[in-house]
Amino acid sequence: MGRFKSLTILLATLLCVALFCSCNRSSQSPKTERYEFTDDYGNQVSVPAEPLRVVSLSPAVTEIVFALGRGDLLVGRTDFCQYPAEVANIESVGGISNLNIEKILALNPDLVISGSMIPQKAAEQLSALGVPIVCVIEKNRFDGLYENISKIGQLIGRSPQADSLNRQLKLRIESELSSSAADTIGQLADNTNHNAMCGHAPSVYYVVGFGAGGNFTAGGDTFINDLIAMAGGRNIAAGVKGWSYSLEALMSENPDFIIIRREDSATFCNTKPYTRLDAVKNGRVVAIESSTIDLQTPRNIDCILQLRNTFTKAK
């Protein structure tokens, strides 16, 4: 009888230990709560409240996730996600137009966040395979940066941090760029005539593409136009919608400054007929790190500062 009682106590003890371990594992397991998120294309997507494995298909998204302090959530990124340096330790899933769907699936993400450059077919394929994919795209106005930070913050469970980052960026604009930059944002948002607003501001042309394939720039309906205006410049393509610009218009406008990606600067300056532009002849071709101006991220402010300093020194 005593032996049976001892065995009963032992079994009861083991059961309690097992229940404790089970409860402990349960408390450590990822939360499974989900909610409906409406992405920038109007798609309703069921996403996890606190994702633990995220694949970013946008360099801007990747940069913002790191800015929000959760780069550790990223298990996959594209070849074009190159900032900050830590992204080199994250598995690449290919380029923008040649995504490796099998690799994305192998990473077992509970959330994929893409941008506007991802082919619709790839997004539909991932969705059909049961992978939650949401699109957060760049906005036409500089202010859209704050919206994107808020959305990404919500998606990765960092809304308070997103609010804090947005406050810091706004304060930085006011302190480092002076109130005039903040005023410019408001005027642009109100569709104020940019030419009239800039007065004697230096004329500026941003090179997106050039040469035999055509000339492309950032028109007035792009956030890049806002960056130029906030830096104190006048975008000669402000009256153009989209990205295409004629060579004749460029040569005729003959802008004071050319802004171009650092890696394209030397080629542009040695290619005819661009060699005839005053900006090229006068050494006013501003070579800039492309990701600070092409992507809608917190580093846009660094771009504005660089351009403003360049414009100011040239006066």
pLDDT in tens, 27-77: 333 457 999 999 999 999 999 999 999 999 999 999 999 999 999 999 999
User: Which tokens go with 241?
Assistant: 């919608």
- Residue 315 is predicted with a pLDDT of 72
Fold observed for domain 179-313: Rossmann fold (3.40.50)
Same fold, 34-165 and 179-313: yes
Q: State how far the alpha carbon of 105 is from the alpha carbons of 88, 102, 132, 178, 184, in Å.
A: 20, 5, 11, 47, 44
- Cα 235 to Cα 130: distance, rounded to the nearest angstrom: 44
- Residue 9 is predicted with a pLDDT of 45
Is 34-165 CATH 3.40.50.1980?
yes
- Is the pLDDT score of 135 beyond 60? yes
Intra-chain end-to-end CA distance of the chain, in Å: 101
- Cα 134 to Cα 126: distance, rounded to the nearest angstrom: 10
Q: Tell me the mean pLDDT in the region 113-132.
A: 93
Instruction: Classify 288 as helix, strand or coil.
Output: strand
Q: Tell me the mean pLDDT in the region 148-161.
A: 98
- Is the pLDDT score of 233 beyond 50? yes
As a whole-number percent, the residues of the chain with pLDDT over 90 amount to: 78
- Is the pLDDT score of 14 beyond 70? no
Unique residue bearing structure tokens 């007035």: 220
- Residue 96 is predicted with a pLDDT of 87
Q: Tell me the mean pLDDT in the region 237-247.
A: 96
Query: Where along the chain do its domains lie?
Result: 34-165, 179-313
Instruction: Classify 292 as helix, strand or coil.
Output: helix
Contact predicate 58/78, CB 8 Å:
yes
Contact predicate 293/303, CB 8 Å:
yes
- Residue 74 is predicted with a pLDDT of 98
- Is the pLDDT score of 198 beyond 70? no
As a whole-number percent, the residues of the chain with pLDDT over 70 amount to: 83
pLDDT digits (tens, 9 = 90+) for 78-106: 999 999 999 999 999 999 889 999 999 99
User: Which tokens go with 20?
Assistant: 């404790």
- Residue 183 is predicted with a pLDDT of 57
User: Which tokens go with 78?
Assistant: 């594209």
Q: What is the pTM of this model?
A: 0.84
- Cα 226 to Cα 148: distance, rounded to the nearest angstrom: 16
If one compares 9 and 290, the residue with the highest pLDDT of the two is 290
